[in-house]
A and B are shown apart, each in its own frame.
Chain A
Amino acid sequence: MEQTMPTTSSNDPADPPPPGDRREFLKATACCILGGICVIPPVIASVVVVTAPLRKAGAGGVKVALATLDALPEGGEPRLFEVVVERTDAWTRHDRSAVGSVFLQRSGPREVRAFNASCPHLGCAVEWRAEKTEYFCPCHESSFTKEGTVNHPSPAARGLDALPVEISEAGEIAVVFQNFKAGVSAKIPVA
């Protein structure tokens, strides 16, 4: 009656008796299409929801006041300061939320070096080792000079991430806090 429509699967001896005619083929196609249609809405909604973080706009750096010049004597060791900012974490509004820490060291009468304490290798927290006058990461043993450049050999691909520093007339030190992508030699801001 109707012409047989050979399909790829019908040649396969492992397959069941061939559906044979065009009708059967159309039915099979309709099944697949309808089956696809009915799971599309939950799947699309799920994908949109799961990938929501990808579409979140970056906040950029945040300026935070950390200390005053008095707290950092000239020729003194680097000191670690907590960075506490106003932040919304998903639904929670935090008036004060710790987001990271920064090393500050006086490098001149009105000059301060600021480094993000997160290791540029893979994000562990670096420490200051006074006896060796170097920054040291306890995870993979990267070390950095007090100027922030990487000591060789170290697994880190770049030096510590320096942060812009602003010093007010009154000697208040503010830093633009920002995290950077770990594991690469370029300093790429993370939103």
Chain B
Amino acid sequence: MSFLDWIDSRTGLRKLLRTALFEHVPGGARWRYIWGSTLTFAIVVQFITGAILWMYYSPSAQTAWESVYYINEVLPAGWILRGIHHFMAQLMVPLLILHFMQVLIDGAYKAPREFNYWFGLGLLGITLAISLTGYLLPWDQRGFWATKVATNLVGGVPLLGDGLQRVVVGDSEYGHHTITRFFALHAGILPGMLVGLIVLHIALFRKHGLTPAMPKKKPDAMFWPDQVLKDSVACVIVMAAVLALVWHFKGAELGAPANPAEPYAAARPDWYFMALFQMLKLEIFQQQGPFGDWGLVWGSLIIPGLVFGLLAIMPFIGRWNIGHRFNLFVLFAGLAAFTVLTVQAYRHDAAEPHFRVAVAQAGRDAARVKELARAHGGIPVEGALFLLQNDTQTQGPRLFAAHCAKCHAYEGHDGLGNPIADKDRSAPDLAGFGSRKWISGLLDPSQIETLKYFGGTKFVHPPAGEKKSKMVRLVTEDFPDHSAEEKAQLGKIVIALSAEAKLPAQREADARDAAIIKEGRKLLADVALDCTDCHAYGSNEGGTGPTFEGYASEKWLTDFIKNPAHEDFYGKRNDRMPAFGEGARLSPRQIEMLVHWIRGE
């Protein structure tokens, strides 16, 4: 005891504790008073987890994503720590709303508590600002593009906009300075302001005391232990909910690293800003709307500003009973609007195929870059984006979508999953190109004239006065009359021709069928079924058709893409396909990645 006495005499600890714990609670402890305490608890958790994350986070455009990757994927329990920080931030928004509702419904915002209410509004704003700045810090596609939208809104502020945006972003472009600024705001300036306001908020709360919900149901009690007990139960529930979310989502998401050159069609803010996001899409705020060019300013600044202003003058409106009712009406109308807009926004996205494709692609990129980093034993000094930019699996479908999908499809889509309309398919579907299945399909009289093969080409739709191509006529006119023996020969030729491609997916099958392949090659060389009348193979020089030497192999495909009108391929009969190796349409490395991807390497 003497030691405690000594401490107490030097610090006044007991008095402090007593002041802290023995607050008068008129009408006794109630569950509806827990929200302020849960928020305080949430903030404490954010300070603890945030400080520790700080030890691992590296704020620069070259290392932000990489360090978060390290926290999430390498550091033991790092994903739990980041998960708690992330999901507690998510939960703080409903907690803030509940706290606000309780204050408004119980009339705790009215005189003499105006200042305390304003401090609360300030805390609400700061909390949202901390969330917004934190969203960018992982420097992934989602955070990058969503924040770009947010800062462009800042740029829309009349008169000051341009300067303000530049100060926030730190430059005219996004980069190191954007991250360092957002980090300083997120982890330093805003939390500092938050603590200051919380101190004032709680001090004023103590000065004016609790506003009891009427009618009082029980005799007055003390904060300790009755209310503290209820508060602790609530905090345990909040923590349990956070852990459940962390567990369910396997921690907080980390998307693919930010790439300013790669638009992200699924750029969305965090869920609690989705209502504002949706609001900007309303017709009234568009350029053709009543506000004209000012639509954006009205939607992003003036209307939210007016709502916030209305919230701020609520203590004055609430002096009259009818004013209080008006305030409650505003509260519930606002919550209803928030809910409706949020639901609308999510339903709109769910029904939007491009959005889903973008989300799926972002998910694939994110998984892929993590896989590459693991396989590589870390991330190269150039950064994680470098890994993705040199990855066949990532770039192949993008190059295909950008350069091939105007005519070709890949399994019916553009390589990235966006469906292609039939009218835009003028060249074969290249999924499985060179495989046994693909070649057999081409040689099937019922398939060769479909869009999957030559259905969109001039081989099937020749210019007026010309005949369909020899190949199309051969397959559709001669093949149906094949004898059983010829059918068997064709089967062997398909297997032999497909073996020329040396596809990784067929390596085992090719090794197993070595005897058939040998036979098939012999058939080709012996001019069985007249293939080599047109196609060069072995000692046969062929004719107008593409060469069968190394058909669909890496070299064949590379040369073909470089120039399909080369005499080894379609020569003068080439149907519209450009020579991608010429005029720097595609770099050798790009062609290489494309070829590897089509071949499944």
Residue of A with least CB distance to B65 = A91
Does B8 lie at the interface of the complex (its beta carbon under 8 Å from any beta carbon of A)?
A: yes
Q: How many residues of A contact B (CB 8 A)?
A: 32
A50 and B76 CA atoms in complex are apart in Å by 10
A93/B18 contact (C-beta < 8 A), A14-B8, A38-B232, A49-B56 known: no
Number of A-B residue pairs with CB-CB distance less than 8 Å in the complex they form: 111
Are A41 and B84 touching (Cβ within 8 A)? yes
Does A98 lie at the interface of the complex (its beta carbon under 8 Å from any beta carbon of B)?
A: no
Does B125 lie at the interface of the complex (its beta carbon under 8 Å from any beta carbon of A)?
A: no
For B81, give its contact among A46, A92, A93 (CB under 8 Å).
A46
Residue of A with least CB distance to B373 = A91
For B77, give its contact among A39, A48, A88 (CB under 8 Å).
A48
> How many Å from the CB of B55 to the closest CB on chain A?
7
Residue of A with least CB distance to B222 = A16
Are B235 and A34 touching (Cβ within 8 A)? yes
Are B76 and A93 touching (Cβ within 8 A)? no
A49/B52 contact (C-beta < 8 A), A34-B235, A41-B239, A42-B84 known: yes
For A34, give its contact among B55, B70, B226, B229 (CB under 8 Å).
B229
A189 and B436 CA atoms in complex are apart in Å by 60
A27/B378 contact (C-beta < 8 A), A50-B52, A50-B55, A52-B75 known: no
Are B236 and A38 touching (Cβ within 8 A)? yes
Residue of B with least CB distance to A23 = B225
Does A59 lie at the interface of the complex (its beta carbon under 8 Å from any beta carbon of B)?
A: no
| Residues of chain A from 103 to 119 with CB closer than 8 A to chain B in the complex | none
Residue of B with least CB distance to A29 = B225
Does A31 lie at the interface of the complex (its beta carbon under 8 Å from any beta carbon of B)?
A: yes
Are A34 and B56 touching (Cβ within 8 A)? no
A14 and B17 CA atoms in complex are apart in Å by 11
Are B18 and A16 touching (Cβ within 8 A)? yes
> How many Å from the CB of B343 to the closest CB on chain A?
32
Are A42 and B18 touching (Cβ within 8 A)? no
Does B538 lie at the interface of the complex (its beta carbon under 8 Å from any beta carbon of A)?
A: no
- How many residues of B sit at the interface, in one of the four size bands? 35 or more
A31/B378 contact (C-beta < 8 A), A49-B56, A91-B69 known: no
Contact with B along A1-40 (1 / 0, CB 8 A): 0000000000010111001000010011011001101110
Are B14 and A14 touching (Cβ within 8 A)? yes
Does B574 lie at the interface of the complex (its beta carbon under 8 Å from any beta carbon of A)?
A: no
A24 and B476 CA atoms in complex are apart in Å by 93
Are A27 and B49 touching (Cβ within 8 A)? no
Does A45 lie at the interface of the complex (its beta carbon under 8 Å from any beta carbon of B)?
A: yes
A86 and B169 CA atoms in complex are apart in Å by 36
For A16, give its contact among B22, B48, B52, B67 (CB under 8 Å).
B22
Does B272 lie at the interface of the complex (its beta carbon under 8 Å from any beta carbon of A)?
A: no
Does B380 lie at the interface of the complex (its beta carbon under 8 Å from any beta carbon of A)?
A: yes
Contact with A along B215-253 (1 / 0, CB 8 A): 000000000111011001101101100110000000000
Are A48 and B44 touching (Cβ within 8 A)? no
- Write out the residue numbers on chain A whose beta carbons fall within 8 Å of the beta carbon of B225: 19, 24, 27-28, 30-31
Are B66 and A30 touching (Cβ within 8 A)? no
Are A91 and B238 touching (Cβ within 8 A)? no
Contact with A along B373-405 (1 / 0, CB 8 A): 100111111000000000000000000000000
Are A34 and B243 touching (Cβ within 8 A)? no
Contact with A along B66-82 (1 / 0, CB 8 A): 11011000111110110
* Prevailing SS type, chain A contact patch: helix
Are B45 and A42 touching (Cβ within 8 A)? yes
- Write out the residue numbers on chain B whose beta carbons fall within 8 Å of the beta carbon of A48: 76-77, 81
A191 and B55 CA atoms in complex are apart in Å by 21
For B238, give its contact among A19, A38, A89 (CB under 8 Å).
A38
Residue of B with least CB distance to A8 = B1
> How many Å from the CB of B53 to the closest CB on chain A?
8
Residue of A with least CB distance to B380 = A93
- Write out the residue numbers on chain B whose beta carbons fall within 8 Å of the beta carbon of A52: 75-78
Are A35 and B235 touching (Cβ within 8 A)? yes
Does A55 lie at the interface of the complex (its beta carbon under 8 Å from any beta carbon of B)?
A: yes
Does A43 lie at the interface of the complex (its beta carbon under 8 Å from any beta carbon of B)?
A: yes
Contact with A along B349-380 (1 / 0, CB 8 A): 00000000000000000000000010011111
Are A42 and B77 touching (Cβ within 8 A)? no
Are A42 and B14 touching (Cβ within 8 A)? no
A30/B69 contact (C-beta < 8 A), A38-B41, A45-B77, A46-B49 known: no
A34 and B236 CA atoms in complex are apart in Å by 7
For B232, give its contact among A24, A35, A46, A49 (CB under 8 Å).
A35
For B235, give its contact among A12, A38, A90, A92 (CB under 8 Å).
A38
Contact with B along A58-95 (1 / 0, CB 8 A): 00000000000000000000000000000011111110
For A46, give its contact among B48, B70, B235 (CB under 8 Å).
B48
Most buried by A among B8, B76, B225, B373: B225
A46/B379 contact (C-beta < 8 A), A37-B236, A91-B373 known: no
- Write out the residue numbers on chain B whose beta carbons fall within 8 Å of the beta carbon of A37: 236, 239
Sample 25 A-B pairs with CB under 8 A, ordered by A number: A15-B18, A27-B225, A28-B224, A28-B225, A31-B228, A34-B232, A34-B235, A41-B80, A42-B49, A42-B84, A43-B48, A45-B49, A45-B80, A46-B49, A46-B52, A46-B81, A49-B56, A90-B74, A91-B69, A91-B70, A91-B74, A91-B379, A92-B378, A93-B377, A93-B379
19 further A-B contacts with Cβ under 8 Å, apart from A31-B232, A50-B52, A90-B70, are A14-B14, A15-B14, A16-B18, A19-B225, A27-B226, A30-B225, A34-B229, A34-B235, A37-B239, A38-B239, A41-B80, A43-B48, A45-B77, A45-B84, A90-B74, A91-B66, A91-B67, A92-B381, A93-B381
User: Top 3 closest A-B pairs, CB basis?
Assistant: A93-B378, A34-B232, A91-B70
